[in-house]
Structure 1
Amino acid sequence: MGAAVLWGMVAAASLVIGALFGVWRSWPEKLTGAVLAFGAGSLISAVSYDLVREGAMLDGGPGVAGGLAVGALAYFTADRMLERWGSRHRTGPSAGTGAGPALALGAFLDGIPEQAVLGIGLASGEGVSIALLAAIFVSNLPEAIGSSAQMRSNGRPASAILRLWIAIALVCAAATVGGYLVADVASSRLKAAIDGFAAGALLVMLIDSMIPEAARKSGLVAGLFTTLGFATAAFLSATG
């Protein structure tokens, strides 16, 4: 249990570190876009190598497919609700707009199952998956930096942004402990569905928010930074 708490906090800490960087100073728009593009590439790698592949190895496909559908619909529905809530409670010319809240929602919806998988691995005696831990870190940092910088530029107070990301990090860390506790009763299909859920939420978030925002802010170099992010995460996964 102690190991699950420790590694859960280590993995989730990247969200708070990224948020601190995001609110620390005003980031040039092109740099923010490049960070988002790098994060998008690393998340594509995480979907491919650390979630879908691992889930398919556990269950052969059905569990992952079901999880993908549920995760995609969960993010889509929650994002639409967030947009409607933001439009009704807008207090300034830009408050509630932009990709910042959507990226935070994506980090929340994919962070819980990702870290639950980390806890399941610990309980199963597999030890810490360095590849998964690295993928969580590499993807969380630019996701949190980009989201926090976007919300800061839209007029959100730095203290409110940090409270949001601390809350997300705490819930994600708790998911590692939850995964550890349910590992003995979780079937291979359920574990595969957890992987699929994270992958489905990530894919919708990437296409709806992260990639368009990265391309808009950084322009033609977005593709290069996306490739760099993918290559970095894929290397960490292959060598982990």
Structure 2
Amino acid sequence: MDLSWLFAVAPTASVGQGTPYEAFGWAFLATASLLISAWIGSFTHPSKRITAVMLAFSAGLLISLLSYDLLEVAYETAGLVPALFGFFVGLCLFVLFNRLLQSRGVQRRCSVTHGGLRQESADDSAQTAGMSLVIGALIDGIPEAASIGISLLENRIVSLSVIISVAITNIPEGLASGAGLQRSGWRLKTILLMWGGVVLICSFTSLLSFVFLKGTGPILQGALIALAGGGVLAMTLQTVVPEAFEETHDMVSILGGSGFAIAFVLSRLLPH
């Protein structure tokens, strides 16, 4: 039986590599919405309903991003087996780190009432809580940022649909955390410094992904793109969809489907 199709790599047209500066810049552009929306949320205090609607829409964007800009690219780069392997590794890693995070008192990271914190004892310090939230944001954001840097290994310009999708999906988390953390007594300066640090770390993740993977082969590159996709899907199913469903109920399907459709159209129409 011929199984060579499992490792076959679809032909793609390369338009030249990007640069480390572009890897950093594109990731910064995509994740800066997290900082901006946290600032806006700190004084607008959006309702649970508004945040849930945005989360439901974001869920569709993320699933489309996973399907057409991560797994598809991973398959075209490395073939089916490396793509599936990386995908399931990404799923498992997110589940593992998310469990560790929950054990530190962080859950419902898109909550407008407490900003993601679950402080069950007086011993929970603000420093520990803040560090846990940063770790949670990095678990969510690093796979997306890494995929931006990796995509520039073969393309001069990263897919605009990826940038738009990542930027939009960061907005509800930023709005909710800005409002919730301020309600929990955090100073605005501390909130902005924390999320600004997350944006910089994600941007450097994209840069480092580009630099360290530049000399590697397509199998490793494709597997890591798929790993990012697995992390994105796990985040969507465990963090985004449950919190969106609590307020939107059946509408989560319509809103999520709309986000998916828009991202799909963007992935077909915008330059890659």
TM-score normalised by L of structure 1? 0.83
Bigger helix fraction: 1
- Aligned-CA RMSD value: 2.9
Aligned position for 1:130? 160
Q: Which of 72, 96, 99 is the equivalent residue of 1:77?
A: 96
Please list every run of 5 or more consecutive structure 1 residues that lacks an aligned counterpart in the other structure. Answer: none
Question: Would you say the 8 A contact 2:146–2:228 is kept in 1?
Answer: no
Matches within 5 A, 1:141-156: 141-152=171-182
Q: Which of 202, 208, 215 is the equivalent residue of 1:172?
A: 202
Q: Structure 1 residues 183 and 32, CA, compared in 2 at 3 Å: closer, same or farther? A: same
Question: Would you say the 8 A contact 1:51–1:195 is kept in 2?
Answer: yes
Aligned position for 2:69? 50
Report the secondary structure of 2:26's partner residue.
helix
Report the secondary structure of 2:157's partner residue.
coil
Question: Would you say the 8 A contact 2:38–2:175 is kept in 1?
Answer: yes
Query: 1:71-130 CA deviation, whole Å, 9 max, x = no partner?
Result: 1121111111111111895357xx99xxxx999766523532333332334344532322
TM-score normalised by L of structure 2? 0.74
Greater mean alpha carbon deviation, residues 214-223 or residues 39-48: 214-223
**Aligned-partner Cα distance in 2 for 1:152–1:202:** 27
Report the secondary structure of 1:86's partner residue.
coil
**Aligned-partner Cα distance in 2 for 1:170–1:15:** 11
Query: 1:181-236 CA deviation, whole Å, 9 max, x = no partner?
Result: 12431221222122222221222222222111101022332222111211221121
Q: Which of 38, 45, 64 is the equivalent residue of 2:57?
A: 38
Question: Would you say the 8 A contact 1:120–1:182 is kept in 2?
Answer: no
Q: Which of 193, 197, 207 is the equivalent residue of 2:227?
A: 197
Q: Which of 32, 36, 58 is the equivalent residue of 1:17?
A: 36
Q: Structure 1 residues 160 and 63, CA, compared in 2 at 3 Å: closer, same or farther? A: farther
Report the secondary structure of 1:186's partner residue.
coil
Q: Which of 33, 39, 48 is the equivalent residue of 1:29?
A: 48
Question: Would you say the 8 A contact 1:14–1:141 is kept in 2?
Answer: yes
Count matched residues.
234
Question: Would you say the 8 A contact 1:39–1:143 is kept in 2?
Answer: no
Matches within 5 A, 1:83-122: 83-86=102-105, 90-91=120-121, 107-122=137-152
**Aligned-partner Cα distance in 2 for 1:69–1:47:** 13
Identity of aligned residues (%): 30
